[in-house]
Structure 1
């Protein structure tokens, strides 16, 4: 067994590609560096030259996943159109990725929150939310949305759309198309942000 097919820097890419296939087929539990080495016909020690352990491999998988997803989100955000249409495109970009790569997405989010996740992964894993926060802030500044906590609003949008995507990926929408659900969800979210965040409990609503 040799690693000659990967002498020109291709082993890392081959490991990541095969690891992606494995988690789609058998989940994270079926993934191991030793099995990857067997599958690719290289020595058991060869994967260790690129990934010190399974967590490092998952970290790299998650990084690649977020990079691919963030490209779609950025393209949607930077496309021509008003704030609301860009908001819908961002939502569709996230939902489309989530439905197409449900297992990878789960690995991306779980690995990002692991105590030993790399700083790079923690940062890139927040880029999507940063894009959403920036768009919401722009729309607030333009008077299209009511003032409010952009960070909380972006998180609410993410939770809502992520939930829709997870249900769609699991075929749990009982015939409702994911596109129609995405549109309805973004309509509701936008209307809520136009109306503004509710006052904290206990507030009288009467100005001082």
Structure 2
């Protein structure tokens, strides 16, 4: 049965279908021909939006970073102390990574494949959100190096927690506790003191 779509939104339909295929079959199960079949269009139709399979994967990864940035941005805009907002960012990060495990793997693989392309630009937009909040909160006290180390350590902690959840080594509830513990440990560390004001 052909999947209906409105003229002009084929790209969005293809990306939605491709993400569903990614979730079910992983990267190896994604092909433009199968995508066209499942979307109910001619086998050549996807190529009007994605020149090849890699272009499709990059578009998925870029969209993933943009969606993740929306969730992180919402957490950062929550009223309250910066330390609590960073905790909410951690939970948003882990929640997205757990709910979209295959997409997360693709996002970071695609970023490393083309460090100067649109996927990297989308990743930079994501981490710039946190960087800007840290810079504003520090009132200019923290240098760029300290903020960069803080962001990387924070991301590593959140990705590690998400990996433990998706591999079923821990429960999601245990993961929330780890997010809080990791955030507290980082914020009260010497690095945290360099990045955020003591309060």
**Taking structure 2 as the reference length, what is the TM-score of the superposition?**
0.86
- Aligned residue number for residue 170 of structure 1: 167
**Pick from 122, 126, 129: which aligns with 1:128?**
126
1:98-135 Cα deviation digits (max 9, x unpaired): 111111111111112213x7733211112222222223
2:147 aligned with 1:150: yes
Shift of 1:7: 5.6
2:183 aligned with 1:186: yes
Q: How does 1:56-67 map to 2 (within 5 A)?
A: 56-67=55-66
What residue ranges of structure 1 are gaps of 5+ in the alignment?
Answer: 198-208
What residue ranges of structure 2 are gaps of 5+ in the alignment?
Answer: none
Worse-superposed segment, 146-155 or 36-45: 146-155
Shift of 1:142: 8.0
Number of equivalences: 194
The structure with the larger Rg is 1
**Taking structure 1 as the reference length, what is the TM-score of the superposition?**
0.82
Q: Which has the higher helix share?
A: 2
**Pick from 117, 123, 128: which aligns with 1:119?**
117
2:171 aligned with 1:161: no
Verify the 8 A CA contact 1:148 1:196 in the aligned structure 2: no
2:15 aligned with 1:23: no
CA RMSD of aligned residues (A): 2.7
